[in-house]
Amino acid sequence: MEELLIFGWLAWIFPIVGALLTPLLAKIGDKVRDYGAVFFSFMAVVSTVSLSSYLFKEHVEWPLHNSIVWLSVEGSPILSEIRAGILVDPLSIIMSNVVSIIAFLIMVYSLGYMKNEEGLTRYWFFMNLFIGNMLLLVFSDNLIQMLFGWEGVGLCSYGLIGFYYKDSKDGWKKYWVGEGDEAYPPSHAGLKAFIMTRFGDLLLFVGAFIILAFAGTLNFVELQNGAISRVPVWALLPAIIFFFGGPIGKSAQLPLMEWLPDAMAGPTTVSALIHAATMVKAGVYLVARMFPILYATKLASDSSTLVLMFYFIAWIGVLTSFVAGTQAMVSRELKKVLAYSTVSQIGYMMMALGIAGISVEFITGYVGSIFHLMSHALFKAALFLAAGSVIHATGSRFMYDMGGLKKYMPITFWCMAIASCSLAGVPILSGFWSKDMILEASLISGEYLLLFFALSTVIVTSFYTFRMIGLVFYGQSVKEQEHEHHLHEAPAIMWVPYAILVAGTLILGVGGYFVRHWLIESFEYLMVSLHGEYVGDLTAEYLISFLSVMCVIIGFVPAYIFYIRRSKSFDLSSKAFSSKIWTFLAKRWYINKLYYSLFVYPTVSISNWLYENLESRVVDGLNYYIASLAKQASVKIRKVQSGNFNDSLTLFLLGVFVAVIILCFIILG
Amino acid sequence: MIAFSLLQIIVVPIFMAIIIMLFGKMLEKKCGWLSFASLFYILCILLTEILNLSKGGYSLLESYSFTPLIGDFTLLLDGISGVVALTITLLSLVISLYSIKYMEHEENFDLYNVLYLLYYSGMVGTVLSTNLVIFFLFFELMLIPSWILIGIWGTGEREKVALKYFLFTEAGAVIMLAGIGSTYMISGSFDLFVVAERTLFMPKTILYPIVVLILIGLLVKMAIFPLHNWLPDAHAEAPTPISALLSPAMIGIGGYAAIRILYTSFPTVAFDNSFTFVLTLLSVITMAYGGIMAFSQDDIKRLLAFSSISQMGYMLFGIASASIIGLTGSLIIYVSHGLSKAALFMISGVFMHNLKTRKISDLGGLASKMPLTAISTLVSFLGLAGVPPLLGFWGEFFIFAGAVYGSFNPIDYLKLVTVIVGILVSILTAGYGLWTVRRIFYGELNEKYKGAKDPEWEMLVPILIMILLAIVVGVYPAPLTSIVSNIIKNLF
């Protein structure tokens, strides 16, 4: 039973070793380094796939668990022994396979996409380090070890967003992100991503420490087995709200979502791997990991306050998904559309987990979230890689520099079209099934307001998705003449990986119904332990399918008219009223601006002000004032030393007199 | 077992200093290697003794009779003093190597080495001694050489800065001396452990003022707000190798001594709730103040100086948590801050020595020219920010965990809020660190520095050793945590 568990360790050790070897392999030769890096990511695939055989075994006692002592703090009531371990259960197996397989495909794609770039040793190092840390995060059996992976992926993200750290102004069209006063060079975007997610992590720290102070452990298995019940309800609710700060930051949810759109300054491969398919899902993963623990506590507690934490995450998710979706409607940059869309789709996953906690039939929401995570990873990675090919061919990240690419890049077009349909939720692609499951969960839970927002987001999603396809592949390009001769299909090493991903989304889609049931079966053990039930309401399923298809059509029609057929006015923003909305959305609801004027600029100006006034004037000034007092005093006292014999004699006698008095006191008293 | 090992640790550098003083003019540049060799010898002794600690009940005590009035000359090597002494020795060793290259154009290199060794001896003596008077003597011994070092080889207004440094620390030391005297008055002993036995049942009202007096001296050394003002000047204008030693090794001794003296001799006060609250508040203010100040600095060394103030806030934060995990965290912060900050000061020295500038606004885009320096800078700043897998992560994790735990046992909401604010303001550390990295290494290259490259090996190797240690010990901190917590748990 336990014989395969070693792969839970190897899965993340292989890529990390690969990363460490990269600088050495680079000494042998560039080809060795490149293929070596891909090889180590392949070893991760081998490891995770071997683990997945557990999913098909009967009567596995989840979770499988294996740990060693890492360090100890003797005598301490908390954290007296910290163990490193791996946790293998359906959640980690599914997540790790999504990560490793997509990562491997992207590594292969990188061989073509990153060819002839400078600093490739750094690139491969960070990519492999990322894969290793991500799998470490997934397999960790306790939060502390998970934080190693968690912060590690953040660090790799920082390094890779800022990959083109020279911030050259000449490559503005290709390497920067945003435009106008929100245009950021890569190194700025990397810094922003790190600081924002780090702030989320600090919130997570606070939550974790409160749990730790009562429960005495941060091990997921121990928490599940009752340690969490040692945390009183009044402390648990704020602790969990703080705790969610980490996932909110990492998964770019409101109010910490602003870093992800700007993270698009990194190479497209990085956007695909880190900022779409895997790392940003870490937040969802952590919430899903904590879900059974929290749900069990909710069941056990008498008061109804604990359910608030699920409402919290559900509302965060649905609002994010709506806000980010509307921003994608007007974005002029191809990768940014996809980035907003990622934020929006992750919002769905968060919402699903929240809803799962609200309802008795938690399994629909829970599995819906994981299903959507899988299917989103596939189609979004495909979309990004295809977008990479497009940007590679046109040399610009702006969609208005594209257009009419259908005839030049047919394979890319079809791949992107299918993946887009999946994103929009067109039946029978994978996105349709997974999104419907989430919508169904919100219908069953009876939270109609959430459902309303979620359905509106479907309309929005459908609109921006087909707008993107229209802008990139249809119509006549403004610049077509200019780069007609080098507009060509991507090489096979680039299109094969995304074709595979698209095939994956097709397969998951055609078999969507069965995948759904297989997933529910895989997580059946949770239903047993958490006393859940799965009824499966056919009416609800049909109703939701109908509603969601209607929403897709509502979004598709205007996108078709304006951007694919281009029969009406090309640009909606020409009309006065809509132009105001357009600007509002294009300025990202002014959230980004607000953060800069609330936190970024003030930090530096407050610092300068304090340095000039408090530090230099008051504190330093006080010191010199004291020094000058001493000097003045010395000038005055010096007058006593006049050198006159009579003065000295008087003083001497005075001194003797005082001494005698003191002596008297001592002797008598 | 090595005979008189602890005495050797203190006496060998003094002895070597005398030799260099006598023959310095003949030895010229070789005196740098001489101090390197003697420090290396000490490192070997120290490592052997620390590895043997587990056999001797986790502590090694050497006692020599001194004067009857003051008590014995007692040196103690245990988990916590061992870790601190080891850090100091290691830093002094690599920095002495670094000095050889860095000081190549300076005069009186022999005198520099004499003072350097005396300074080392003072620091390590402070850490090892358990008799308050001896402690005070070494406390002064580490002040005087460093004062001269700043005054002679410093930059800018060095004499004024050195005087400021001296007066501040001396004022603190005098106040501490009053505290030490009062301790003797009430307990009749200078020995920490004897004092501990005798103060156990004394009322808090008597002990409070004494503790405050002693603590003021230590807080000046740690540069806790509002007693921090001497530090930015001293660290910025000291010769860079000395900054690299002043900042992480010396000021942290204040924190170590607070643990040693406070928790050993005055536990009733140390665990007092309002007392720890005040310390927590001070530490949070210091963390925030140092961090905020770092944003407005254009001089790398001054930025690092403010960063040190902020880091000492972290250390005090752990001390104030009054929990095993928090104190362990504080000592880990001492080590990790030592490694990272020493590396950063040495890197600032690289800019001063090779590029002849220390202004951040002059630099930019250097990552492609100085890749190893860039990586080291990034890793060191991440170490300060407490990002895994660096050692700083454990330090921060432990002090925060300890502080939250401490404010729930017993429950004190005001303290809890302060602690949460403290955790959240630590974002400043990541902020100024990465922002500095960006300003120095990313963006467009200044034409003036087209020929810049990584430094020579004498300067690079010390930096890389610091980085590697921070990573290795960060991934596997078990030896460090177990040796430290083994002693800390006895304080509770």
pLDDT for B79 equals 85
User: A452 and A326, same structural domain?
Assistant: yes
User: A663 and A634, same structural domain?
Assistant: no
The verdict on A195 touching B (C-beta cutoff 8 Å) is yes
Residue A474 lies in a domain: yes
Overall pTM surpassing 0.95 (yes/no): no
pLDDT for A199 equals 93
User: A352 and A274, same structural domain?
Assistant: no
pLDDT for A480 equals 54
Residue A72 lies in a domain: no
Distance to chain A for B117, nearest Cα, Å: 31
User: A340 and A235, same structural domain?
Assistant: no
What ipTM does the predicted assembly reach? 0.92
User: A206 and A108, same structural domain?
Assistant: yes
User: Which segments in chain A show pLDDT lower than 50?
Assistant: none
Lookup: tokens for B126: 């402070």
The verdict on A81 touching B (C-beta cutoff 8 Å) is no
- Give the mutation candidate from B229, B405, B424 for the A interface (greatest A CB count, under 10 A): B405
CA B68 to chain centre: 33
The verdict on A230 touching B (C-beta cutoff 8 Å) is no
Asked which of A265, A290, A315 is the last residue of a domain, the reply is: A290
Asked which of A586, A602, A625 is the last residue of a domain, the reply is: A586
Q: Distance between the two ends of chain B, CA-based, in angstroms?
A: 30
Distance to chain A for B107, nearest Cα, Å: 32
User: A534 and A386, same structural domain?
Assistant: yes
Return the number of other C-beta atoms located less than 10 Å from residue A484's C-beta: 11
Q: What are phi and psi of A233, to 5 degrees?
A: -60, -40
pLDDT for A479 equals 58
Domain ranges of chain B: 292-492
Lookup: tokens for A247: 């996932």
Instruction: Give the SS3 label for residue B130.
Output: coil
User: A322 and A178, same structural domain?
Assistant: no
Rounded to 5 degrees, what angle do the CA atoms B84, B89, B95 make?
125
CA-nearest of A493, A9, A64, A98 to A280 is A98
pLDDT for A485 equals 56
The verdict on A635 touching B (C-beta cutoff 8 Å) is no
Residue of B nearest to A159 (CA): B378
Instruction: Give the SS3 label for residue B445.
Output: coil
Which residues in chain A are contacts of B389 at CB distance < 8 A? Answer: 148, 152
Q: Which helix (H) or strand (E) holds A64?
A: strand A64-72
Distance from C-alpha of A533 to C-alpha of A538, rounded to nearest angstrom: 15
The verdict on B84 touching A (C-beta cutoff 8 Å) is no
Residue of B nearest to A153 (CA): B388
User: A186 and A333, same structural domain?
Assistant: no
pLDDT for A566 equals 78
Per the CB < 8 A criterion, the answer to whether A352 and A374 are in contact is no
User: A172 and A58, same structural domain?
Assistant: yes
pLDDT for A203 equals 94
User: A267 and A209, same structural domain?
Assistant: yes
Asked which of A245, A261, A290 is the last residue of a domain, the reply is: A290
Distance from C-alpha of A294 to C-alpha of A305, rounded to nearest angstrom: 12
Q: What are phi and psi of A351, to 5 degrees?
A: -60, -45
> How many residues would you count in chain A?
669
CA-nearest of A33, A21, A19, A36 to A117 is A33
**Which structural domain range is residue A611 located in?**
588-638
Instruction: Give the SS3 label for residue A259.
Output: helix
Residue in B296, B387, B442 nearest the CB of A611: B296
Rounded to 5 degrees, what angle do the CA atoms B387, B490, A142 make?
35
Residue A123 lies in a domain: yes
Cβ–Cβ gap A165/B164 under 8 Å = no
Cβ–Cβ gap B444/A205 under 8 Å = no
Per the CB < 8 A criterion, the answer to whether B252 and B123 are in contact is no
User: A271 and A128, same structural domain?
Assistant: yes
Burial class (CB in 10 A: 0-12, 13-18, 19+), A181: exposed
Domain count within chain A? 4
User: Which segments in chain B show pLDDT lower than 50?
Assistant: none
> What number of C-beta contacts closer than 8 Å exist between A and B?
150
pLDDT for B452 equals 85
- Give the mutation candidate from A209, A218, A612 for the B interface (greatest B CB count, under 10 A): A209
